[in-house]
Structure 1
Amino acid sequence: MTRSSFPTKKERHVLFGSVPPVTGNKPTLKDQMTDLQNHREDYLFAIEEVGITRVKHPLTIHSTMAPHVQTTIASIELTTNLGQKSKGINMSRLTETLESYRQEGLSTDLAQLCKLTKELAVVMNQTGSKLVMEFPWFYERSAPASNLIGLGHSELYIEIAYDESKYRKFEITVGITVAVTTLCPCSKEISEYSAHNQRGLVSIRVNVDPQLLDDNWKVMLLEAAESNASAALHPVLKRPDEKMVTERAYENPRFVEDLTRLIAADLYEYDFVERFTVECRNEESIHQHDAIARISFDKRQKS
């Protein structure tokens, strides 16, 4: 099909349904517009958390493991509480506050994130607020024999809750999700040779004492997960490396029960950890199901 000429762009838009704007009579200036969010009435319930979620945002990570400074992308949730007599919150203030911290240089510095979380409550005229972020963290990993370097990665988690009515105004939770190798002790025990192994996913969440929090917390949580597994995962492996990794796994068989308990013991020994939850899930290689184990423990209630 050929044609000698096309309608103009404006004519094409009309052809496909565009219509001119209507003449309205509602105000266009902010101070003349109705503010429904600030309307006061009895709205039946207070709301514990209301805000925005799945916000994609750049974030700078400082790490003792190379690369020592990196930029990642975080998925962020920003919320505040809301009293029973308030209809809604001005959600644009949440993104405005986040933008102001981006211009300062938003990072994983927990002091900065506490300041941001409190400011959310202040700008909303509320008594509490919460920040939650999840993001990938990369680190150099050397192969055990060849020493060839590649980038490993795990998922980090930070949650900061602010409540101006509490003696400890900030509750900080940090965590990690990391993949490891697990080798089945039962398979090793009953088989004439070999044993089945699989990839395991370790998820750790710890509530921390801010006064004792170690700045190296992400490295310590990574160590707790990987050092207790059958073997760690590596981005680069040559044959001599593969031999060492598979033999290490054979020498350190782990049920999900074993791995969960061993990690819990490490977390128990970390001074900055007050409460923790550990979950280990094996993506079974000879079953259609996964195996899972979970431990939650509050060190403040120990006997």
Structure 2
Amino acid sequence: MTMSSSMFQAPRADLPDVAHQSVPLARELQWVGMDNIALPVRIADGAGGTLQVPAAIDMAVNLGNPDARGIHMSRLYLRLQDGLASEAITPAGLRHLLQDCIVSQDGLASRARLNIRYDALLQRPALQSGFSGWKRYPVEIEAVLADGHLRLSLGLEVEYSSTCPASAALSRQANAERFVQDFDAVQPLSSDAVVDWLASERGMAATPHAQRSRAQVRVELKPQFDELPLLALVDALEAALATPVQTAVKREDEQAFARLNAENLMFCEDAARRVAAVLADDPHVTRYEATVSHFESLHPHDAVARISGENP
């Protein structure tokens, strides 16, 4: 994220600048800047390349001089625009950008903060058919540089399917009761008759309820790593939850998805523990918090579990 010197020319001396006027109620301000700046950013695509995607960005510095009326806001914007234009987002690049924003304030600031929100598009393979499709993952990156120390946080969302264990147990009981009803008097009972019954509509007396669900994760990253572990986190979380929502789906993929749901019955509490186990074992993560939400198909409200922790 290098800065082009031609982008930042000296201001015209004959233009008025009210920022240097006297300050009523003088005091320091913790943060001053801009929210929801619309800019394109470059991100890794998960396949060794980069993608350019639209982002919403908050940028701020502290105003440490109580007698200064305001910061040089246009300098922040220009450095942000130039710094994010050509290179994929990395911890080193964010550190350089934040330091440059501090320097741009000519002694008014000693800290800088940046928040970047965008949708990562990752291509994900189907379960069986060999097809693949693009899936959207909302991402939020927060970077704060203070006293030479970079604090970096990564937030992301993963969607998955959750099938209720209680509903599954009740459905199995209903299926068993119907089996007894249909075959109690049948003697002898052949395996072919059972297979035909199971494949018929009579063989499904009830089905468990399932719903689209979401895991929202925020992690504070250790400073020694050179890349944002977005893809690694997505892969680990989807593997742990086992039923991530699909993109390109043929019949064999849909059947495989149904099997995975049956093998991974989950209350929201179960899902939260699976997510926490991933984050607690991740070498990139120093602190984490997660919220899992199951958007109930049985109830008009959501089932939600939250968990947080710190890693050594």
TM-score exceeds 0.5: yes
Does residue 43 (structure 1) correspond to residue 55 (structure 2)? The answer is: no
Deviations 1:88-113 (A, max 9, x none): 2221111111233245x142122111
Q: Indicate which of 47, 55, 59 corresponds to 2:37.
A: 55
**Closer/same/farther in 2, CA of residues 282 and 37 from structure 1, 3 Å limit:** farther
Taking structure 2 as the reference length, the TM-score comes to: 0.79
Which residue of structure 1 aligns with residue 135 of structure 2?
152
- Which residue of the partner structure matches residue 178 of structure 2? none
How far apart are residue 132 of structure 1 and its match?
0.7
Q: Any idea what the Cα deviations from partners look like across 1:37-71, whole Å, max 9, x if unmatched?
A: 233546354322221111111111124x3373211
* Other-structure match for 2:261: 249
Does residue 196 (structure 1) correspond to residue 177 (structure 2)? The answer is: no
Which structure has more RCO (C-alpha within 8 Å, separation ≥ 6)?
Answer: 2
Find the counterpart in structure 1 of residue 219 from structure 2: 206
- 1:288 to 2:269 alignment: no
Q: C-alpha distance in 1, partners of 2:120/2:70?
A: 35
The corresponding residue for 2:150 is 170
Rate the CA distance shift 1:85–1:299 in 2: closer, same or farther, 3 A.
farther
Cα 1:174–1:113 shift into 2, 3 Å: same
SS in 2 for 1:287: coil
2:88 aligned residue:
107
Taking the aligned partners of 2:240 and 2:162, their CA distance within structure 1 comes to: 10
Look up the SS of the partner of 2:241 in the other structure. Answer: coil
* 2:153 aligned counterpart, secondary structure: strand
Aligned match of 1:276 in 279, 288, 291?
288
Taking the aligned partners of 1:225 and 1:295, their CA distance within structure 2 comes to: 15
User: CA deviation digits over 1:136-173, x for unaligned, max 9?
Assistant: 11122121111111112211221110112xxx611011
Structure 1 residue 129 corresponds to structure 2 residue 134? no
Indicate whether 1:77 and 2:77 are aligned.
no
Give 1:222's match in structure 2, choosing from 210, 234, 252. Answer: 234
Amino acid at match of 2:133: G
Q: Is the 8 A contact 1:67 1:139 kept in 2?
A: no
Unmatched 5+ residue regions in structure 1?
1-28
Q: Distance in 2 between matches of 1:221 and 1:175?
A: 10
Partners of 2:164 and 2:274 in 1: CA distance: 16
Conserved 8 A contact 1:38-1:89: no
Q: Which residue of 2 aligns with 1:21?
A: none
CA drift at 1:34: 3.9
How far 1:230 sits from its partner (Å)?
Answer: 4.9
**More deviation, 81-90/170-179:** 81-90
Which residue in 1 is equivalent to 2:97? 116
User: Match for residue 142 of structure 1?
Assistant: 125
Partner Cα separation in structure 2 for residue 243 and residue 46 of structure 1: 61
Between the aligned partners of 1:67 and 1:235, the Cα distance in structure 2 is 21
Alignment counterpart, residue 179 of structure 1, candidates 148, 153, 159: 159
Contact 2:268 2:292 in 1 (8 A): yes
Contact 1:214 1:272 in 2 (8 A): no
Give 1:284 shift.
1.3
Q: Counterpart of 1:228 in 2: which secondary structure?
A: helix
Aligned to 2:5: none
C-alpha distance in structure 2 between counterparts of 1:258 and 1:86, whole Å: 53
TM superposition shift of 1:236: 0.8
Distance in 1 of aligned mates of 2:259 and 2:138: 27
Q: Which runs of 5+ in 2 are unaligned?
A: 1-10, 175-205
Q: Runs (4+) of structure 1 moved beyond 4 Å?
A: none
Q: 2:39 touches 2:81 (CA, 8 Å); kept in 1? A: no
Q: 1:273 to 1:102 in 2, by over 3 A?
A: closer
Instruction: Work out whether residues 212 and 294 of structure 2, in 8 Å CA contact, stay in contact via their aligned partners in 1.
Output: yes
Alignment: residue pair count: 266
Q: Which residue of 1 aligns with 2:70?
A: 88
Change (3 A) 1:236 1:67: farther
Q: Is contact 1:52-1:78 (8 Å) kept?
A: yes
Kept in 2: contact 1:129–1:163 (CA 8 A): yes
- Give the 3 Å change call, closer, same or farther, for CA 182–67 of structure 1 in structure 2: farther
Name the TM-score, length of structure 1 as normaliser: 0.81
Q: Tell me the distance in 1 between the aligned counterparts of 2:238 and 2:226.
A: 19
